[in-house]
Amino acid sequence: MRALGLAFLMIVSTAGCGKSGDVAKLERALGSTSLVISQIYGAGGNSGASYTHDYVELFNRSSQSVDIGGWSVQYASAANDFSQKVDVPSGTSVPAGGYFLIQLTAGSGGNGSALPTADLSGSINMSATAGKVALVKDTTLLTCGATGNTCSSSSIADLVGYGSTASDYEGSGPAPAPSLATDALFRKSGGCIDTDDNASDFEVAAAGPRNSASTANDCAALVDAGVPDLEVPDAGVPDAGPTGQLVVVSQVYGAGGNSGASYDHDYVELFNRGSQAAAIGGWSVQYASAAANFAQKIDIPAGTTLPAGGYYLVQLSGGSNGSALPTADLAGSFNMSASAGKVALVKDTTLLACGATGSACSSTDIADLVGYGSTASDYETAAATAPSAATDALFRKSGGCTDTDNNATDLEVAAAGPRNSASALNDCGAAVPDAAVPDSALPDAAVPDTTADGVVPTPDGPVADTAPPADTVPPVDAAPPADVGPQGDGPVADQTPAADSSPLADQTPAADSSPVADLPPADTLPAVDAQTIDSGGTVPPKKDDDGCSCNVGARPAPDVAGPLGLGLVALLFTLLRRRR
């Protein structure tokens, strides 16, 4: 019987380089890396840059501290091997949910604001549009990465290729490259997402570096607020998260100075829905009449930042009626209609050439667009209702927190009440009772305008070492029905992957599509090399008994021996129990 058992185990261990297809799927579902690259910014100091220096940000997705002393962050240009690095000092650790900021070279232009205090500094000069960054578990410079020489070293903890010309990356393709000097490349969900696919794990948004003093991000508490990833990276608060484009137009008033007006000037109010300061220097607020292209704008000065939960008041043209506005943060001269028009918050100062009837705007430079009034020719989903009285303004609900990309439902009419940078901050993640007053008057965070889709369970740690019951032998090639996902300690069926890399709701397969549909349920699954996170912060390198390691960027194809091996191991357990 022991000889038979050894034979069974040999079948499983000789299934090829790396794990079997079934086990590889399970590992992907649980997430393969605890320490990841969570943000890349290569435009430091460039014209229009938000910050003076390039930077790389690391994040610990796990539930325990990880020692990264003796590791290195390495860089390669788009088509070449890795050639630059910065070493992490011994004794350095990143706590669970913690960030680690590495400041790199400053651009020659000297533009932008200073970074938050960096945890480590280096002299790497990165491209803003295409390149490769690797987090390596030693300080040896990689000799790979060029076209035709992809990296496969087991010492690589994480690899990010970005830009269409990047020659090496994880998964189906490189991550998208930022097109603006104000933007950075973010790992989704504040760093929690890691499916080993750069193209789907990353998104572009306004640069927002985080360091070891930043609030920890618990990947086990993700709540999907049901809005686009670029709007909110779903970090556990309604319609707001730690990263992503979160500055919006929160109030529009076009009746300034009119007969019966409350205020003597038109104004536009901006609001930062996020949990960190946003750099909006070099952006612009633009206006178009109801049926025409955008034709007027006001530029926001370089170096301007908007704190988390903060407001920013832009005063526009005025008249003789009404009270003076509170002190404006910026003043411009364009004149808005009180009954119909379009306002855009744009991430540069170039006047939009769109907006007219038949010429809807689609530029990725637009951070927010509000069309109001029944004749507005451009808007998000549907136009907002226009105020009918000179005392009223158009408000974004919940004090500015609501943003589902639908002007008609996100905004409401209420008595004008301009807020500026001196106004009280509005924390979109706070639990505020929903009083019987308009949303514009009270941020009703306790009853979010966009309902959360639910909590993604994220078990940290290895797969449970559970043997099958003595009277249960899974069929050799049996798969559970398509509408039955793995049970027990396996990932939840309608969320891929589980553990600490849960994708957002708009990337989640339907509930009847299990990410590991060809595996038997987890409660009949034998142990899958139960492993804990080692001192290097990752599951031990994927090597077979012969020392064969698998390419970081390309997982081995599922092999036919996987289901057979798992079935035979289960049979072995059964026979051994019966022999007793």
Q: Give the tens place of pLDDT for each residue, 262-277.
A: 999 999 999 999 888 8
Mean pLDDT across the chain: 74
Neighbours of 474 (CB within 10 A): 22
Predicted pLDDT of residue 279: 87
Q: Average pLDDT in the 525-532 region?
A: 37
Neighbours of 573 (CB within 10 A): 20
Phi/psi for 296 (5° steps) reads -135, 150
Question: How many helices (H) and strands (E) are present in the chain, helices listed first?
Answer: 5, 24
Predicted pLDDT of residue 428: 86
> H helices of 328-470, where?
407-410
Question: What 3-state DSSP class applies to 219?
Answer: helix
* pTM of the predicted structure, to 2 decimals: 0.43
Q: Average pLDDT in the 130-156 region?
A: 95
In the chain, pLDDT over 90 holds for what percent of residues? 56
pLDDT at 117 > cutoff 90? yes
pLDDT band of residue 568 (cuts 50, 70, 90) is: low
Predicted pLDDT of residue 567: 53
Q: Which residues contact 567 (CB under 8 A, 6 or more apart)?
A: 473, 474, 475, 476, 477, 478
pLDDT at 70 > cutoff 90? yes
pLDDT at 102 > cutoff 60? yes
Query: Pick from 34, 188, 51: which is nearest to 114 by CA?
Result: 51
**18-27, 404-413, 470-479 — which one is most confidently predicted on average?**
404-413
Comparing 125-139, 414-428, 500-514, the range with the smallest average pLDDT is 500-514
Comparing 132-146, 218-232, 515-529, the range with the smallest average pLDDT is 515-529
Q: Average pLDDT in the 532-556 region?
A: 39
Predicted pLDDT of residue 542: 39
pLDDT at 35 > cutoff 90? yes
Question: Cα(168)–Cα(130) distance, rounded to whole angstroms?
Answer: 11
Q: Which domains does the chain have, with CATH numbers?
A: 32-218 (2.60.40.1260), 247-415 (2.60.40.1260)
Q: Average pLDDT in the 64-83 region?
A: 96
Q: Which residues contact 432 (CB under 8 A, 6 or more apart)?
A: 442, 443, 444, 445, 446
Phi/psi for 372 (5° steps) reads -135, 150
Contact in structure between 217 and 242 (CB atoms under 8 Å):
yes
pLDDT at 555 > cutoff 70? no
Contact in structure between 381 and 403 (CB atoms under 8 Å):
no
Q: Average pLDDT in the 33-51 region?
A: 93
Q: What is the pLDDT of residues 295-326, one digit of tens each?
A: 999 999 988 999 989 999 999 999 899 999 99
Q: Helices 2-13 & 561-579, crossing angle to 10 degrees?
A: 160
Predicted pLDDT of residue 14: 37
